[in-house]
Amino acid sequence: MRRATAFLAAGLLAATASIAAHSQGSAAAVNDAAVTDGLPRTLDEFGFFADAPAQEPAARVTPYRLNTPLYSDGAEKLRFVYLPEGVTMQAAGEGLLDIPVGAALIKTFAFGEGDGRRLIETRVLLHRADGWLALPYLWNEEQTEARLAVAGARVEVTTPRGQAISYRVPNKNQCKECHGLEGAVVPIGPKARNLAHEWLGAMVDGGLLDRVPEGADVLPLWEARGEAGAEDAARAYLDVNCAHCHQPSATASNSGLDLRWEQHDPRLLGIMKRPVAAGRGSGGLLFDVVPGKPGESILVHRMDSDEPGVAMPELGKATVDPEGVEAVERWIAGIAP
């Protein structure tokens, strides 16, 4: 399942090869005081990048990718993790890596390619002594600076599928709607099961991770999902795109769904489960997932809609992800009645 095309493997190894260089230090250094205190007004104040418009990371800022990524209207996402000098991430099974206080996760959203690439926003998750803090930074039209957007913003963009949309940069409080768990803000992306063994091994070799976790690298590479089984591809997609809300103690726990990868109870996955609240979002359908019948499944109905109040996820996208819908439909179609 971990093996993809030669092109994808080469790209992954190129990314991991940069880890040692970034961990050794350079002229650019991160401002640790900005990570641990205050509300910096600009992204540059953190010093995460030697060249921010080019997304060239500074020392100890390491790029990474997820096997199966979160869909955000087709935006390109440039992901980085920052670890201050003298600290190491700890393995914690197949779930989230244990990222120490003083560290940061950085994610830039962009549309377009090559010289036409436009940076829209950079979100940072800062691990402070009192917990994680999420802050959004909006890039200017000149692509020279990103400034703190506490109130969020709307930006007109064209997606890779040619759709003109009003892209929403979340406000500071909306970050909690996806990153909220048991009343606290937590990361949702860098789970060991969704990170490549090669990258994790390079982090260990660079002194940035204590060991490669057990249960790592089991979610399929999305570009190579055809090589995985239908259930694995769909369950990976639901884990990454839906489970941060649809799990116990998260913001949509009242739905009764638990879409995490590690969940295996058919009813909690929605199979022949009636919705807790049968409103407009159900489309008149009776069950979240009907074995063998994706067209009668509320899960597919809501994923395949861009109508507010019906569409799922509710935040983070304005368009339907046809590849995600197809993966979930294929899984449901193969479930025995």
DSSP 70-123: PPSTT-EEEEEEE--TT--BB-BTBSB-BPPTT-EEEEEEEES-GGG-EEEEEE
**Boundaries of domain holding 113:** 6-205
Distance CA 137, CA 177 (A): 18
Q: Are residues 195 and 254 in the same domain?
A: no
Query: What pLDDT does residue 181 have?
Result: 59
Q: How many alpha carbons fall within 13 Å on the CB side of residue 44?
A: 11
Which residues are within 8 A (CB) of 94 and not within 5 positions of it... i.e. 6 or more apart?
A: 191, 192, 193, 213, 214, 215, 216, 218, 261, 262
1 domain residue, yes or no: no
Q: Are residues 191 and 263 in the same domain?
A: no
Query: What's the token pair of residue 322?
Result: 């046809």
Q: Are residues 329 and 188 in the same domain?
A: no
The stretches of the chain forming alpha helices (DSSP H) are 6-24, 32-36, 175-179, 197-205, 230-241, 298-303, 322-333
Q: Are residues 144 and 97 in the same domain?
A: yes
213 domain residue, yes or no: no
The number of domains in the chain is 2
Query: What pLDDT does residue 5 have?
Result: 38
Is 0.75 topped by the overall pTM? yes
Consecutive 10-residue averages of pLDDT for the chain (337 residues):
39 49 60 96 98 96 96 96 95 93 97 89 96 95 96 93 92 62 74 96 96 94 93 96 86 86 95 84 91 96 91 86 96 94
Residue found by looking up tokens 């670890």 in the block? 83
Query: What pLDDT does residue 184 have?
Result: 66
Q: Are residues 118 and 249 in the same domain?
A: no
Q: Are residues 194 and 236 in the same domain?
A: no
214 domain residue, yes or no: no
State which of 205, 239, 264 marks the end of a domain: 205
Query: What pLDDT does residue 239 have?
Result: 95
Q: Are residues 64 and 151 in the same domain?
A: yes
Give the DSSP letter of residue 42.
B
Q: Are residues 189 and 103 in the same domain?
A: yes
Residue found by looking up tokens 């860098």 in the block? 190
Q: Are residues 188 and 329 in the same domain?
A: no
Which residues are within 8 A (CB) of 183 and not within 5 positions of it... i.e. 6 or more apart?
A: none
